[in-house]
Amino acid sequence: MSSDYAKALGARLRAIRTQQGLSLHGVEHKSRGRWKAVVIGSYERGDRAVTVQKLAELAEFYGIPVAELIPGDARHAASEPPARLVLDLERLSSLPNDAAGPLARYAATIQAQRGDYNGRVLSIRNDDLRTLAVIYDQSPSSVADRFIEWGVLNADARGVTETDVPSEQGGADRGRFEERRVPTG
């Protein structure tokens, strides 16, 4: 395990432990001695290699998915980078509120959470697009197409597919909803 990776993994372990309000000795106490404070500390400093088995056991102890312990970039290293999704906030503000209101409120919420008030554009994540699909009662690809038509979402968003959102019908019936168009002129 490279030193940089071990330190990044250790930082994730420390972050999870502190989020749960546990000290190193608190982990030892809560685990009834299963996890020694000195061992957890050495994992967190990156001084000691963590096996996959131990990492899985730690994830179970902390009550989180194993993927949450993997340092940021390593979680997605084998997958294609997601398309960059950018909302044009200036264009959004010019659309009728009856159709674009939910998107405008959602964008305002993201801006408030991030403290990002540049007012021109806002980057969103694929998860945000899936949430907006639920709000608009459409599939992610349909809602992306709608936002692209409105001129508020960049064309890269067309890469979002029906399979990105699991549904009880396996996605087969998603997207069969009434299309409401917003005038673009």
pLDDT of residue 2: 66
Q: What integer is the mean pLDDT of 73-94?
A: 68
Separation between Cα atoms, residue 124 and residue 73, nearest integer Å:
18
- pTM check: above 0.75: no
Separation between Cα atoms, residue 86 and residue 153, nearest integer Å:
6
Q: What is the CATH number of domain 85-164?
A: 1.10.10.1930
Type of residue at 8: A
Q: What integer is the mean pLDDT of 44-65?
A: 90
CATH 1.10.3720.10 correct for 3-75: no
Pair of tokens at residue 153: 């979402």
For the chain, which residues make up each domain, given as ranges? 3-75, 85-164
Q: Which of 78, 62, 52 is nearest to 14 (CA)?
A: 62
φ/ψ of 156, rounded to 5, equals -60, -20
Q: How confident is the model at residue 73 (pLDDT cuts 50, 70, 90)?
A: low
Separation between Cα atoms, residue 92 and residue 108, nearest integer Å:
11
pLDDT tens for each residue of 97-143: 888 999 999 999 998 888 877 778 888 888 888 899 899 998 888 88
Q: Which of 112, 184, 108 is nearest to 152 (CA)?
A: 184
Beta bridge partners of 87: 122, 153
- The owner of tokens 């970039």 is 73
- The owner of tokens 């064309």 is 155
Contact (CB, 8 A) for 175 and 162: yes
Q: How confident is the model at residue 83 (pLDDT cuts 50, 70, 90)?
A: low
Q: Which of 51, 58, 45 is nearest to 10 (CA)?
A: 45
pLDDT of residue 171: 38
Q: In this structure, are strands 85-88 and 121-124 parallel, antiparallel, or unpaired?
A: antiparallel
Type of residue at 50: V
Q: Which of 167, 105, 155, 156 is nearest to 132 (CA)?
A: 105
